[in-house]
Amino acid sequence: MRAKINMYLFEHAVNSLFRQKFKTLFVVLVLSTLIFLLTSVFFISNSIKHELQSTVDALPEIIVQKLGGGRHYDIETSSVDEILEITGVSSATERVWGYYYFENAGVNFTLVGIDEFEEQYKKSFASAAKELDFSKPTMMLGEGVESVMDKNYYKEYFNFIKHDGTLKRVDIGGVFDTQSELESNDVIVMSKDDAREIFNMSKNMATDIVVKVANEDEIATVASKIKLLYPDVRVITKDDIKISYQNIFDYKSGIFLALFVVSLFTFFIIIYDKLSGLSSEERREIGILKAIGWSVGDVLKEKFYESFIISFFSYMSGVVLALFFVYILKAPLLQNIFTGYSQLKTSFALPFVFDIQTLFLIFFLSVPIYIAATIIPSYRGATLDADEVMR
């Protein structure tokens, strides 16, 4: 049983760490900070990726928008019937939505109109449709909207200013819960009729049309048929949106990448410094140990324990700190890079995504490399004659 841990050597390793208090402390500090940074970056980007993915997955397969002069115009609701006739389409729904600028707070709300009995194109709206009272003007608010209105003393209702300057009073029905914060923090859900009234939109018009296709292989065919049917529309498929979301994400994660490269670079400089040689004190220590009868293996074992304890401890504390920072403190400073979709900032509760792969990646980037960086120079020292080392 050679693999058994030699408790004497282990004890010596611990004692040796405590003997060099400041050096140990310094190494732990630097190593933990690096691991903490790396892990936080990975945690945040994983969470955001997850959030974007769930947003994209909830999207309809095809969105049809009418264009005129390159700008987005309202589309006739009669187009829904014609789109429904296309084989392969499982449902088509007209959407009524837009932005409402609330001057007092300087924020934009996203107003979404839903119909009580139509098929909801988003899961979160289906629950809102159940709770919303369609018999009188009522609305459901996203959490961010609710707090903004509350700050402006709109606790029971809100007055929307219509196109002709008159007011439209809409009661606040409650806050609707959603899976994804990114998309719905600034959303107000109300009936289509109310939304049309606020936007000054006639009854046979809609903002755009969402189309669901049961078989995803057919999305391209259906999209091209819609394009043929209406030459003046823009047909956006799920893949298009996925790509543009991905672009935003990639652009922003470039900043993370820079951070990642810098911290990794720092880490390897430290490693290089260690690898390039032992301090004379360390050489002497190895010499003395050999002189009192330690074998090369014993020395290496002791060094292994020492470096393993220090790097593993730093790794654990770095990861725990990162977990705490990202998921409990909600990543202050770092998350600011990702907000800025609209005036009303999304509150951004990062969903907890535990990614074993990331943890392994960081583990193998730090612990074995540090151990190697300690053991290799020690081996060089230990293979020399004891008197030569001490001389």
Partner 1 sequence: MFIKIIISFSLLFGTLNLGANSFTKSATIKPQLVQKGLQKEWCPVCGMSIEVYYKTSHTSKINNAHERQYCSIRCLAVDMQEYDIKREDVKVVDAATQKLIPAKSALYVVGSDIKGTMSKISKLAFASKESAEDFSIENGGEIVDFKTALVMAQESLGSDIESVQAKKTKQVYPMGEKIFDKRCKKEIDINAYLQINELKAAIKEKNFCGELKEGELQSLSLYLWEVKRFGDLKKIGDVITISKDEKCPICGMFVYKYPKWAAQIFYQDTHFSFDGVKDMMKYYFEHKEGISKMLVTDYYSQKAIDARNAYYVIGSDVYGPMGDELIPFINESEAKTFYMDHKARKIVKFEDIEEKEVYKLDE
Q: Which of 241, 128, 236 is CA-nearest to residue 192?
A: 128
Give yes or no for residue 217 binding partner 1 (CB under 8 A).
Answer: yes
Single out the residue of 6, 24, 65, 90 in contact with partner 1 (rule: CB under 8 A). 90
Give yes or no for residue 281 binding partner 1 (CB under 8 A).
Answer: no
Q: Which of 212, 197, 205, 133 is CA-nearest to residue 166?
A: 197
Between CA 378 and CA 387 the distance in angstroms is: 16
Q: Please, which of residues 187-216 interact with partner 1 by CB under 8 A?
A: 214-215
Closer of 192 and 283 to partner 1 (Cβ): 192
Give yes or no for residue 229 binding partner 1 (CB under 8 A).
Answer: no
Q: Which of 192, 175, 193 is CA-nearest to residue 184?
A: 175
Single out the residue of 135, 166, 276, 280 in contact with partner 1 (rule: CB under 8 A). 135
Q: Total residues at the site for partner 1 (CB under 8 A)?
A: 21
CB of 204 to partner 1, least distance (A): 10
Q: List, in sequence order, every beta strand (DSSP E) within 263-372.
A: none
CB of 216 to partner 1, least distance (A): 8
Closer of 91 and 246 to partner 1 (Cβ): 91
Q: At 8, which amino acid appears?
A: Y
Give me the helix-helix angle, 296-323 and 356-383, nearest 10°: 150
CB of 370 to partner 1, least distance (A): 42
CB of 51 to partner 1, least distance (A): 26
Closer of 79 and 358 to partner 1 (Cβ): 79
Closer of 220 and 255 to partner 1 (Cβ): 220
Q: Please, which of residues 46-85 interact with partner 1 by CB under 8 A?
A: 78, 80-81, 84-85
CB of 367 to partner 1, least distance (A): 36
CB of 45 to partner 1, least distance (A): 29
Closer of 92 and 331 to partner 1 (Cβ): 92
CB of 218 to partner 1, least distance (A): 7
180 CB-side CA count, 13 A: 19
| Interface segment toward partner 1; rule CB under 8 A; list 38-46, 90-98, 347-355, 371-379 | 90-98
Single out the residue of 33, 54, 91, 342 in contact with partner 1 (rule: CB under 8 A). 91
Closer of 38 and 213 to partner 1 (Cβ): 213
Closer of 164 and 217 to partner 1 (Cβ): 217
Single out the residue of 87, 166, 200, 276 in contact with partner 1 (rule: CB under 8 A). 87
Taking CA atoms, 238 is separated from 60, 134, 212, 235, 334, in Å, by 7, 31, 10, 10, 29
Give yes or no for residue 227 binding partner 1 (CB under 8 A).
Answer: no
Between CA 269 and CA 271 the distance in angstroms is: 5
C-alpha radius of gyration, the chain, whole number: 31
For residue 234, report the phi and psi dihedrals to the nearest 5 degrees: -105, 125
Between CA 259 and CA 144 the distance in angstroms is: 30
Single out the residue of 221, 246, 342, 347 in contact with partner 1 (rule: CB under 8 A). 221
Binding mask 95-124 for partner 1 (x = CB under 8 A): ---------------------xxxx-----
- What kind and span of H or E run contains 144? helix 143-151
**What three-state secondary structure class fits 236?**
strand
Closer of 88 and 174 to partner 1 (Cβ): 88
- What kind and span of H or E run contains 97? strand 89-102
131's tokens: 């709770």
Between CA 244 and CA 239 the distance in angstroms is: 9
Closer of 55 and 138 to partner 1 (Cβ): 138
Closer of 87 and 357 to partner 1 (Cβ): 87
Burial 144-154 (b: 16+ CB within 10 A, else e): bbbbbbeeeeb
Task: Specify burial of residue 21 (Cβ count, 10 A radius: 0-12, 13-18, 19+).
Answer: exposed
Question: Which residue carries 């498929």 as its tokens?
Answer: 237
Residues forming contacts to partner 1 in the complex (CB under 8 A) are: 78, 80-81, 84-85, 87-92, 116-119, 135, 214-215, 217-218, 221
